[in-house]
A and B are shown apart, each in its own frame.
Chain A
């Protein structure tokens, strides 16, 4: 019996991942129209980012309100490559993207050139956010900036990043962003079969990310990360530098978010500052909060749900759907602080005791009052 329980605890989550994998990779392509499948692909990209946010925020306690930056780094890296591929398909190997001719003088900035290479682009999608996150995180964590400071700082970063993109029309397409991709690593993007292939790549990437965090959460590092979240300074006196612990999670999360952004570009056909700015970043967080930030599957499922909800609500109530979105934030955070993913266990727990729960249930031991004195 006990063994069975242990087995469930270890392998149960994998079962959940398998269910998601089957739903996304087998069921969805079979039942959805190409358009809906493509929509789902977009939510999957947000879900990949959500897994990263769950890692940084749910497990690591770092509420990054500027994940849009990493989403954008991946998205723009990919978009630059696709833009160049599209240009080369029509204008030969030295062709430059159309917008540089329209808004600029038709010359391409030097840092665009390497993105003609697909391999370089793939490396950049992983390395650029990793390096940016490492430098940024190193600076921030070593200086022990955390909590609300960290959240607001990163939000400002997202604003600055989006503003920078808008202000550099000739280099990044500005407010318009980058779009009109025709070719994806040699495959024609106007072909429905190829669009489905991009979807499959995204869904697979999501499953891979989930497996990675699954292993991470059950590893000793996962425990150390939670320990760092709960009592950062105390970790120091166990012989670990908490900054390093957080840095690892932060960088890993940034890479996942970047991968989400990179796949977002070919799936939606566009990446623009409004996909990476403060509002976009907050919507990324919304999904994670909805699903349950500290859970394994919560962030991914939550992000899928928010994506689906946005589409459905805005199709059904095109003029009023913002109300629903606003209410969603309020209701979930107010009544399900641990996310909807925790509801089942809450209900079960209630039934088990048949006791009225006290009005102010401590959220987690320790946040409950008279606890920490400096």
Chain B
């Protein structure tokens, strides 16, 4: 019985984590076309923010709640700095953003190592998250439910932002044709900055969730970044719906493979599966085709 519930529930939680990371990417990559390889380090920044918050707010029960907005702001601010300092010069060269942000990611990792030490720092789980419910033999940790909740909340907020405010249209217009958007009165500079702030901030939220799994660690970001990118790609660019489905699918499928084979093989098989899947649907789950040669 638990042979089924464990991978399903644990995989859903992994999927939720991937979703939070991927939502940020869906904005910066999917909507803006920037391949930010430092997104994982923004996640790491969120984790360190959680650690620092616990140094200040020593009541662990409270500190996580303080850490959430703090991590959002810290990671968002890092994203903003990145945008202003580097990315804004590169919107016409999407593939180059990838290389530049690899450099940023190296810098941030080394910086974390020098500031916080190469040894990770502990993050304490608050009392109200410390425990589990028994679901058909699986001791489902509260922490995993909390991660899922976070993901749903992030998704709902972002979805509403994109769907019900004119901001959503402006981001999409900006990425589809920057100059044209500008001549339609869209201040693409503002759009870029807001988008990068929000997208990076989401990584910070993901960092809080990650820190509850394993504390902080200068290399932690790299663990999630590639899976998160795969999720965005498999989900289809510019489509939140696809990102959600892809995140949970990858999470659950990986969990089942882990259960049946091993963690390593699960990674390999999941990657292979995504590659095969893209053979079937080259533009991801949800495709938006246009005419002509574009």
Contacts and interface: CB of A to CB of B under 8 A. Distances in A.
Is there a contact between chains A and B in the complex with CB atoms less than 8 Å apart?
yes
B278 A145 contact: yes
Contacts of A333: 90, 96, 99-100, 103
A247 to B, nearest CB: 15
A10 interface: no
Interface residues on A, range: 35 or more
8 contacts: A148-B29, A157-B271, A159-B271, A160-B271, A231-B293, A323-B106, A370-B179, A374-B294
Interface residues of B, number: 49
A329 B264 contact: no
B124 interface: no
Interface stretch (A23-31, A36-44, A104-112, A282-290): A282-290
A317 to B, nearest CB: 11
Contacts of A320: 110
B226 A278 contact: yes
Given A148-B35, A159-B271, A163-B268, A63 B103 contact: no
B57 to A, nearest CB: 32
Contacts of A285: 99
A330 interface: yes
Contacts of B29: 148
B261 to A, nearest CB: 9
A19 interface: no
A369 interface: yes
A367 B110 contact: no
Contacts of A368: 92
Interface string A133-160: 0000001100111011101110111011
Contacts of A337: 93, 96
B145 interface: no
B230 interface: yes
A22 interface: no
Nearest to B182: A369
A374 B103 contact: no
A322 B106 contact: yes
B156 interface: no
Nearest to B35: A148
Of the listed residues B99, B178, B265, the one surrounded by the most CB atoms of chain A closer than 10 A to its CB is B99
Given A147-B94, A330-B104, A152 B179 contact: no
A167 interface: yes
A4 interface: no
A347 interface: no
Of the listed residues B103, B107, B271, the one surrounded by the most CB atoms of chain A closer than 10 A to its CB is B103
B178 A374 contact: no
B17 interface: no
A148 B232 CA distance: 11
A334 B100 CA distance: 7
A231 to B, nearest CB: 7
A328 B279 contact: no
B230 A163 contact: no
B253 to A, nearest CB: 14
B95 A147 contact: yes
When A and B form their complex, which 9 residue pairs have the shortest distance between CB atoms, in order from nearest? A329-B103, A167-B264, A374-B294, A326-B106, A326-B107, A374-B290, A160-B271, A233-B293, A369-B179
Interface in B240-294: 262, 264-265, 267-268, 271-272, 274-275, 278-279, 282-284, 290-294
A355 interface: no
Given A167-B265, A322-B109, A322-B110, A159 B226 contact: yes
B93 A363 contact: yes
Of the listed residues B29, B96, B268, the one surrounded by the most CB atoms of chain A closer than 10 A to its CB is B268
A325 interface: yes
Contacts of B98: 63, 65, 148, 151
Contacts of B93: 337, 363, 367
B52 interface: no
B294 to A, nearest CB: 3
Contacts of B154: none
A144 B281 CA distance: 10
Contact of A152 (B99, B177, B229, B283): B229
Given A65-B98, A369-B92, A374-B292, 18 more contacts: A143-B282, A148-B233, A159-B267, A163-B267, A163-B268, A278-B226, A282-B102, A289-B96, A326-B106, A326-B107, A329-B99, A329-B104, A330-B86, A333-B103, A334-B90, A368-B92, A370-B177, A373-B177
Given A157-B275, A325-B106, A329-B100, A167 B92 contact: no
Given A157-B271, A329-B99, A334 B89 contact: yes
A294 to B, nearest CB: 13
A291 to B, nearest CB: 13
A143 B276 CA distance: 11
Of the listed residues A144, A160, A325, the one surrounded by the most CB atoms of chain B closer than 10 A to its CB is A160
Contacts of A157: 271, 275
A152 B229 CA distance: 7
Interface in A182-197: none
Contact of A166 (B103, B233, B264, B291): B264
B111 to A, nearest CB: 8
A367 B92 contact: yes
B293 A329 contact: no
Contacts of B284: 149
Interface in B133-189: 177-180
A82 to B, nearest CB: 26
Given A143-B278, A330-B86, A148 B94 contact: yes
A164 interface: yes
A151 B35 contact: yes
Given A156-B271, A334-B89, A144 B99 contact: no
A105 B22 CA distance: 43
